[in-house]
Amino acid sequence: MNVLQIISGRQINGALTYCKYLSEMLAERGHRLTILCRSDNWLEEVGVKGVEFLNSELERKPSEIGRIAQFVRSRKIDLVHTHMSRAHAFGALLKLTTGIPLIATAHNRSFQVHWRVNDFVLANSHATLEYQKKVNRVESRKIERVLCFTDLERFRRVTTKDVRRVQRQMRLKGDELLVGCVGEVTRRKGQVYLFEAIKEIVAQVPNFKLVMLGRYQRDEPYTRKLRTFLLQNGLMRRVKWLGLRMNVADFMTAFDMLVVPSIEEPLGLVAAEALAAGTPVIASDTGGLPEIVRHQKSGILVPPRNPRAIAQAVIRLAGDRQERETMGIHGREHVFRDFDNDKLCDRVEEVYRKVISGGLQKAA
């Protein structure tokens, strides 16, 4: 198959890693892959094995649609697969122009008019799938859940030496209870509710230390709000802001637990990554997170926007090392099974073939 992937994000996120690993696996299986992306893209920076790149700002102008349509025709592209909103809209216009078969992966949950233009939709979780059916009116026969492609194998390669190195980088005393919070600092990620839980936590867990990994802007109002809260409550020393780090696997393994306090989360890949490291997860019971974190088995689910529930869960796991280890073992087993890239790629290939052959129309 000759496939054009279109993705509109620039900085590393779940959609870009999904596109990278899916494209590499398809190329390894003998398919021809081209990625259409905007300039200064993370994918081009890190490279995608066996894949060609084509740049476009994905502007919805007749001239740009026409240019890419000509590329599709000249390269005899069999199918287009889109990722992220700007790319989805561009792909829909490309299909209307060329008639090219179109598949879109729903990485988020939002109301948009283009979803019914797709020949098929891949949803990253059951929660996203149900949203697409109810809100965007995607037909049941044209949608399937396929979890995100990612590299969980890197968590198997983390050594004791790697963990000790990041512990030294954090300048720890050695007896801290390390709680991680990984992800971009935005309102949707709900970090404020974790911060509001800290005072209750430290009253019971005096060696508590929160480590923040992920992109943040000091001057952004939400970030200022979080830092002001810490300052006013005398908690600044309880939190380490480390920003974006590429060796996330080392930190995940060093953590005693991870907290994912999101208000809304289409999937929550960071929870799967923590479990791949053998680290139990406390997560909001929302979106796709309950599909990853198995309550009382690989972690604890808490109501969204509930600092008290977060505090109680952290205190509980802080006091029971054996429970943390048992949850970590169970979590590692099931995420490596559920996020098996080979099996996920089999499912995507099957959808590609059905769409290209017109099998879905025949079934209807």
**Cβ neighbours for 186, distance < 8 A, ≥ 6 positions apart:** 222
pLDDT of the residue at 360: 67
pLDDT of the residue at 171: 86
What are the pLDDT digits (tens) for 207-237?
999 999 999 999 999 999 999 999 999 999 9
pLDDT of the residue at 246: 87
In a 3-state reduction of DSSP, which class is residue 47? coil
Please report, as a single letter, which amino acid is at residue 299: G
CA dihedral 184, 187, 191, 194 (to 10 degrees): -160
Q: CA-to-CA distance for 40 and 61, rounded, in angstroms?
A: 21
**Cβ neighbours for 228, distance < 8 A, ≥ 6 positions apart:** none
Equal CATH topology for 2-150+340-363 and 152-338: yes
Every domain of the chain and the residues it spans: 2-150+340-363, 152-338
Residues of the chain with pLDDT under 50: 364
For 2-150+340-363, CATH number out of 3.30.70.100, 3.40.50.2300, 3.40.50.970, 3.40.50.2000 equals: 3.40.50.2000
Architecture of the CATH domain 152-338: 3-Layer(aba) Sandwich (3.40)
What are the pLDDT digits (tens) for 151-207?
999 999 999 999 999 999 888 887 899 999 999 999 999 999 999 999 999 999 999
pLDDT of the residue at 169: 87
